[in-house]
Amino acid sequence: MPRLFFALWPDGPAREVLACHATRVARLARGRPVPAAKLHLTLVFLGAVDRERLGAVRRAADAVQGARFAMTVDCVGGFRGAGVGWAGCRVPPAGLLALQSSLQSALAAERFAPEARPYAPHLTLARRISLPVADEAIAPVSWEARAFALVASSPAGGGYATLAEWPLGERKS
């Protein structure tokens, strides 16, 4: 059974810069860099979901109405307990927090339990790190979040497949 999550995918130029950071962080922390094609920002992690519940997942996403927003990543750090190095934003954009909250609420209405831990927006850059990654500022890496996606990950092969995407509306001024 695939594990499902909702995510934002960086655009091509942002992905290239983030991949360079992934290589650097993995080297410094003696970990494995996440391949560029897998770099994403998770909005909500659902885990293993029965196929019969896929309709409820899609209904929840259909109910979300968010606006496009500028996503900017400006720091790196590590979650030592999880063994990962990450890139994140010192001040998450309001559009990101609104989208994540709206999606979480829509999923709760479809009887999906929210994660117990608070939302910490980040992109995983390196896995299986051996050394801590000090929090540090990086040159801002930006892209416009135009859509969010439902993604399936395969535990066996570690691949990701985008199952569906939902466009975000025009940016509010």
Length reported for the chain: 173
> Which residue in 6, 22, 40, 166 is the catalytic one?
40
126 - beta bridge partners? 33, 85
Verify whether residue 122 is a known catalytic residue: yes
> Which residue in 18, 96, 122, 150 is the catalytic one?
122
Nearest 5°: phi and psi at 139? -60, 135
- Rounded Cα distance between 117 and 45, Å, is 11
- Rounded Cα distance between 147 and 140, Å, is 21
Phi-psi region of 49 (alpha: psi -120 to 50; beta: other; left: phi over 0): beta
Residues known to be catalytic: 40, 122
